[in-house]
Structure 1
């Protein structure tokens, strides 16, 4: 039986290798799904088990300077990604409707391949968000959704840019996500700069609205596929997955908006209240990558275990 399992895994691995887009095959971390899967498993293990135990009897690190540098660097990186996506098609030749994948080796197609890989690689850099939380003993920030999305996003994108040539209407969500990250990491940078910058963070409430707008744009744009008379997009499976992703997270963030800003069910303030990557203000639903909630729907133990619960009435 084990021999059959190993044989089937080898066949699948060879199939993936044969299907991998030759234009991106030689980029770092693109040769095999094993490498990136191992990295992400180590990340999960560190986030929920090893990290909290290493810090259990240690004082939290003060990492404000490191976080300021990190967050502002992420602003610049995501701004670069936005510019490159625009120059690779979205601001030049794309119609913003049924844009097909360019399989050629034209300069523009290769530019799209490159920026897609940079976007993919940036998701590994974003794992530092969790490392900062661990080192600062902010385990309440490391929710199931936080860990799930920081690991699931790069894992799914590996398959997306290897088995599906990058480009066309399926890359729109990456462009929008990078735009949101420019704003979000700028907010994080100001938050980490200390109390003297808190007066400039009056707009933190609207970060959730920006996230909601992101998911609306993604869902509406990709929904065009279902209403066009003819759209010969080469890999419609990814259309369906992107639509489900946008819709699912729109519902999650809408629920947060309702609970936090309409019904007023915010968690009571405390020294261990969730903080945004260095923020000293009350929690909002934004987390790096635009893809998980800090909505107060989870209670946490410092030993890394995560228990789901409800926000107290206040």
Structure 2
């Protein structure tokens, strides 16, 4: 197995870099970059291909099969994601506050500082990227339980997974506020779905607030981008790590998320729909006509 020794004097690392090296080895930014640009890039493409095939063929395969009763497993899975999100929020919050106190909103979105190189924020930021792959399991649960896989669901999950991998390899600083907001929302959301999977009756207004928190996440994220762009146009921000193409991509995807979630909210809670709305514990809407 080969080893790489970077010219800037950092510690050497084995090639190829494995997932085990990343999860359990000492944090090394060059090692992480090599891993994301080689091993994980290939796997990301493969994962997305398999995911889309699963979304298309999975429900068709399950049509002739009995749905699996996975409520206990699903509840535990949701709680695990909620726990991870809460711990990550706790770990990364001080680093975001430090960056904000130093440079305000523009500073947090312009300068990476030690965001990626710091052993703590770098590692937990990388874990965030990996967690988006784990969240694709939500779709597996839907298929095995014969729940509908809405376009909103698979589009949101797959695009979030793809974007986070791309943005990480570009060392983009302006993802920082979005990561913090997403972790906060997912801590509450997955805890909520975990309780529902275990049969805990949740008041409708709480489920409604969970969906609204997702919508608020996109509104706040797009607002951050607008503030960022306004500062860039006014002051130039010449020393800013902007990545215009990636910012444009994030904006387009963010707007599409907002639109789809607003449509979902309207369908689920709109007064004009003559049906009883229910939500399963994976966040998908179910509808049944009144008898």
User: Pick from 109, 118, 121: which aligns with 2:127?
Assistant: 118
Distance 1:148 1:223 in 2: 24
Aligned to 1:304: none
Q: Does the 8 Å contact 1:127/1:150 carry over to 2?
A: yes
Secondary structure of residue in 2 paired with 1:206: helix
Secondary structure of residue in 2 paired with 1:97: helix
Aligned to 1:33: 41
Q: Which has the higher contact order (CA 8 A, sep 6+)?
A: 1
2:140 aligned with 1:131, yes or no? Answer: yes
Aligned to 1:69: 76
2:183 aligned with 1:182, yes or no? Answer: no
Query: Which structure 2 segments of 5+ residues have no match?
Result: 1-28
Distance 1:193 1:29 in 2: 40
User: What value does the CA root-mean-square deviation take over the aligned residues?
Assistant: 3.1
Distance 1:148 1:106 in 2: 28
Q: Does the 8 Å contact 2:189/2:210 carry over to 1?
A: yes
Distance 2:202 2:114 in 1: 50
Note the C-alpha offset of 1:217: 0.9
User: Pick from 147, 165, 171: which aligns with 2:171?
Assistant: 165
1:172-197 deviation digits (Å, cap 9, x = unpaired): 21221111111110110111111xx2
Note the C-alpha offset of 1:251: 2.9
- Matched ranges for 1:13-92 at <5 A: 22=30, 24-27=32-35, 31-49=39-57, 51-87=58-94, 89-92=95-98
Aligned to 1:245: 253
State the number of aligned residues: 254
Secondary structure of residue in 1 paired with 2:32: coil
Note the C-alpha offset of 1:158: 1.6
User: Pick from 202, 206, 211: which aligns with 2:214?
Assistant: 211
Q: Does the 8 Å contact 2:99/2:107 carry over to 1?
A: no
2:280 aligned with 1:275, yes or no? Answer: yes
Distance 2:223 2:71 in 1: 38
- Matched ranges for 1:259-270 at <5 A: 259-265=267-273, 267-268=275-276
Which structure dedicates a bigger proportion of its chain to helix?
2
Query: Which structure 1 segments of 5+ residues have no match?
Result: 1-20, 278-285, 288-293, 297-310
2:99 aligned with 1:93, yes or no? Answer: yes
Give TM-score, length-normalised by structure 2.
Answer: 0.75
Note the C-alpha offset of 1:56: 3.0
1:106-141 deviation digits (Å, cap 9, x = unpaired): 863x43332221111111111111111111111x2x
Give TM-score, length-normalised by structure 1.
Answer: 0.70
